[in-house]
Amino acid sequence: MSQMRKDVFTGRWVMVADTNAVHPSSFRVKPFQRDSAFCPFCESNEASTPPEVFAIRRAGSRANGPGWSVRVVPNSHPQLGIEGDLGRQAEGIHDLMNGIGAHEIIVETPGHDRGLHELQPEEIVEVLRAYVTRITDLEQDKRMRYVLVFKNHGEGAGAHTIFHPISQLMALPVTPRNIKTKLIMARDYYRGKERCLYCDVLRQELDSNQRLVAENTDFVAFTPFASRFPFEICVLPRAHNSAFSRISASEMENLAHILRDVLQKLDSTLGQIPYNLSLQDRPFVRPRKDYWETIEADFHWHLEILPQVARITGFEWASGFFYNPVPPEIAARCLASSRAA
């Protein structure tokens, strides 16, 4: 019989199958096409993108020319515009405002063919540095409340038709619903216990050792108790910290290592599986937004990795309720025992 599990972060219930008969090979999909057509993100094609807003470059190289290792450019088809004001208004009963924000592409490497999991740890550190730099910069824009960093890998995860590995970043004038839900749950927990919810879950995951996928000095990767997706992974820093942008240099290195390790484990367990990765960070703390005044203590940033092996159906859309055919304990066992390169 399956179990119903309640996600302590969102209050969401999840049904989890009770089975030992999970064969990762049944989730294998056909390899993602590594196309060979013209790619605007490759080194030497810098003129095909809008001018860069940030890059990590070799000494002496010039902006918007070759010689970079990570490059951030505005999305040439942005879903949000950076100019103007929010223009909050009503349409009868409805609320609306202008789609003000930033939409940027973080090109993770100058080469076309290596996925994030195939980069060296020191290359991944540079991708993470680009995240921190852009978040810190966009935090200065008083219209913005949140920066969402995410990555679509592979067709089934909604990736570009171009293989070249990229992340995306959106600065938003609202705090996204999923984040707000997590903040409220974390705040309610802290009020009752005077302890961080995420710190408590981390301790329990380490004690029970049922869902651990990987760990190092600064990070723990595990499959969440109420995983919505088969082989879903959460990467949590050991040290309590609400804001990703305050990550230390040694944490950055250890994050690069565990991220590479975890993505390689996914790859060797499930083949070239599509996945979505996102940074679950706190919103910016603004004056008059005293709603989040306790956020430093309440919230604990983390990464979510969602392999896209199952189709979402009317059931999930109608209910916000997920069916996960793979118990996270089994997913963790498959992943933890898999070889990482």
Q: How far is the CB of 51 from its own copies (least distance, A)?
A: 21
| 26 or 319: CB nearest its own copies | 319
Q: Residues 21, 36, 58, 91: which binds its own copies (CB under 8 A)?
A: 91
Cβ–Cβ < 8 Å for 123, 252:
no
How far apart (Å, rounded) are the C-alpha atoms in residues 96 and 91? 7
Distance CA 338, CA 334 (A): 6
Should residue 320 be labelled a site residue for its own copies when binding is judged by CB under 8 A?
Answer: yes
3-state SS class at 76: coil
Q: Which stretch binds its own copies (CB under 8 A): 41-49, 73-81, 112-120, 121-129?
A: 73-81
* 277 interacts with its own copies by CB under 8 A: yes
Which one among 48, 208, 209, 248 touches its own copies, defined by CB under 8 A?
A: 208
Residues 219-238 that bind its own copies (CB under 8 A): 225-226
CA end-to-end span of the chain: 37
Residue 85 within binding range of its own copies, rule CB under 8 A:
no
Residue from the set 50, 97, 191, 286 that interacts with its own copies by CB under 8 A: 97
Query: Min. distance of Cβ 249 from its own copies in angstroms?
Result: 26
The interface region with its own copies, picked from 15-23, 44-52, 125-133, 284-292 by CB under 8 A, is 15-23
CB of 335 to its own copies, least distance (A): 19
DSSP state string for 129-192: HHHHHHHHHHTT-TT--EEEEEEEESGGGT--SS-S-EEEEEEESS--HHHHHHHHHHHHHHHH
Of the residues 37, 142, 313, 339, which one makes contact with its own copies according to CB under 8 A: 313
State the minimum distance, in angstroms, from the CB of residue 204 to its own copies: 5
Residue with tokens 């902006």: 63
Please state the closest distance from residue 35 (CB atom) to its own copies, in A: 17
Whole-Å CA distances, 140 to 111, 133, 135, 137? 32, 12, 9, 6
Query: Hey, which residues between 141 and 200 contact its own copies (CB under 8 A)?
Result: 148, 150-152, 157-159, 168, 170, 172-174, 176-179, 181, 197, 200
Stretch 112-141 residues interacting with its own copies (CB under 8 A): none
Q: Which is nearer to its own copies, 60 or 92 (CB)?
A: 92
Q: Of 208 and 337, which CB lies nearer to its own copies in the complex structure?
A: 208
Q: How far is CA 309 from CA 157, 173, 324, in A?
A: 9, 32, 10
Q: Which is nearer to its own copies, 8 or 213 (CB)?
A: 8
Q: What is the CA radius of gyration of the chain?
A: 20
> Is the distance from CB of 199 to CB of 107 less than 8 angstroms?
no
CB 123 within 8 Å of CB 109: yes
